[in-house]
Amino acid sequence: MDARSVILAVRDGKGLAPEAAGWFARGLADGSVSDAQAGAFAMAVLLRGIGTDGRVALTEAMRDSGQVMTWDLPGPVVDKHSTGGIGDSVSLLLAPALAACGVYVPMISGRGLGHTGGTLDKMEAIPGYRALPGIEALRQVVKDVGCAIVGATDEIAPADRRLYGIRDISGTVESIDLITASILSKKLAAGLGALVLDVKVGSGAFMEDIEDARALAQSLVRTANDAGCHTSALITDMSQSLGHSAGNALEVIEVMETLTGTSVNEALWDVTSALGGEVLTLAGKAANLDEGAALIDHALESGRAAEIFGRMVGALGGPMDFVERYPDRLPSAPVFRIVPSPRDGYVARVNARALGEAVVHLGGGRLVGTDRVNPSVGLSGLAVIGEEMQRGEPIAMVHASTDDKADAAVQAVLAAYELTGKMPDEPPLIHERIGPEDVA
């Protein structure tokens, strides 16, 4: 078997057999499959698809391309994953909140893809934080602290780590087959007993239509449950930024404000609570979704989640006093611009993808795989749908490295907002739930 034959089979609509998936995943992991071949494979999958069987085969092959973890802990091992959006820092709230509820969270996360932010990029905005500590460090921090937000090293699903980067720069991020295999290969390799998926829908998501988001959620839930991991999904709104900030350090600040109660973002909190209720119920730590959500609320309100977040940061090389001193510990951009509302009116629509692209062009994401992310840049104070604006009032604030980049971002943000004279309906935070019973 060779890479060319695997690519041709997918290109010609013949699908992906288990043995072909296994061969290609091993080639991705050991380097015998080139970047060009990996890109061609990803494009063939995007354009032709590989079907349900091929999706399962690719997921399991990428899972088995590295170490599959087992755990000996006094509580369930669980996780959450988001399909990506703008201003989505829920993972940073949820991991410590879940740990405070008596479950263990080895949260293996990714970097930004396309216009969306990445959890690892956010954590690496914290000085000294080691996002790639290795398997043994991951085990120890999860055991001692209860959670660890880290990236997939060569030991965990190395085939996915390689293909993930290829997808970002080859225009193949949106494939349901590749998204399913990418997410679940890492999660299943982490040895989870329960998993909740946050599938985004709207202008800032990879799936802009509810039908596409539903198809992805069903694919993920079906594949994961077939692999033995109790899994459900929420389809949540991404027609605008979830948080008021978009950009790595800025989002960490918003998380810390919510964790410490100094300025709570209700949308972030509510999505965190709903997702946490799902996974606690799946893991048997809550009798029902309402009880699970209440447990998450208490973890956040009591300050226990903030304490655990601080311990996790310290255990992975960040400042030991991060919770107390986070405004001083995070980088800030040298150039600041207000984006003024061009007229009176209500925010009616937001092109969230355009906001994400503005952050990327500020340096907060990657245009090519070798780009270095600037953690300090981004957008803050983002106005939300339904908010009434007066002419000249800030729609957002731009944090930039240069005057030219700031000016370009101001224009991009203005173009992303549509104002009308009538108050619009606000979109729901959660559109649908898809549980194991819905895909059986």
pLDDT for residue 165? 82
Q: Check residue 421 and give its pLDDT.
A: 94
Label the pairing between strands 105-109 and 147-151.
parallel
Residue 81 appears among annotated catalytic residues = yes
Q: What is the pLDDT of residue 152?
A: 75
Q: Could you name the CATH architecture of 78-326+430-438?
A: 3-Layer(aba) Sandwich (3.40)
Q: What is the pLDDT of residue 193?
A: 95
Tell me the two tokens of residue 302.
Answer: 């009591």
Selected catalytic residue, list 63, 111, 167, 214: 167
First to last CA, the chain: 35
d(CA 436, CA 440): 6
Does the annotation count 14 as an active-site position?
no
Taking 70 as the pLDDT cut, the residues of the chain under it are 369
Return the pLDDT at 308. 98
Catalytic position from the list 65, 82, 273, 380: 82
Catalytic annotation, pick one of 55, 80, 222, 230:
80
Active site residue 361: no
pTM of the model: 0.90
The whole-number pLDDT of residue 286 equals 98
Distance between alpha carbon 13 and the CA centroid of its chain, in Å? 30
Query: What pLDDT score does 364 carry?
Result: 93
- Of the residues 81, 214, 311, 405, only one is catalytic, namely 81
Question: Looking at residue 117, what is its pLDDT?
Answer: 76
* Per-residue pLDDT, 109: 85
Helical H segments across 316-351, by residue range: 322-329
Domain edges within the chain: 3-63, 78-326+430-438, 332-420
Q: Which entry of 63, 111, 162, 187 is annotated as an active-site residue?
A: 187
**Which one of the listed residues 109, 170, 182, 241 is annotated catalytic?**
182
Q: Point out which residues pair with 197 in neighbouring strands.
A: 81, 233
Instruction: Identify whether 119 is a catalytic site residue.
Output: yes
Pairing of strands 230-237, 335-340: unpaired
Which of 186, 337, 353, 405 is catalytic? The answer is 186
Of residues 65, 73, 52, the one with CA closest to residue 192: 73
Give the model's pLDDT for residue 114. 72
The pLDDT score that the predictor gives to residue 110 is: 79
- Computed over every residue of the chain, the mean pLDDT equals 94
Which of 65, 91, 109, 119 is labelled catalytic? Answer: 119
Look up the CATH number of domain 3-63.
Answer: 1.20.970.10
pLDDT at 103: 98
| CA 114/CA 117 separation, integer angstroms | 8
**CATH class of the domain whose range is 332-420:** alpha beta
98 close to 147: Cβ distance less than 8 angstroms: yes
Active site residue 80: yes
Choosing from 79, 160, 168, 198, the catalytic residue is 79
Distance CA 303, CA 298 (A): 8
The pLDDT value given to residue 404: 98
Is 182 assigned a catalytic role? yes
Residues 105, 276: contact at Cβ < 8 Å?
no
CB atoms within 10 A of CB 159: 28
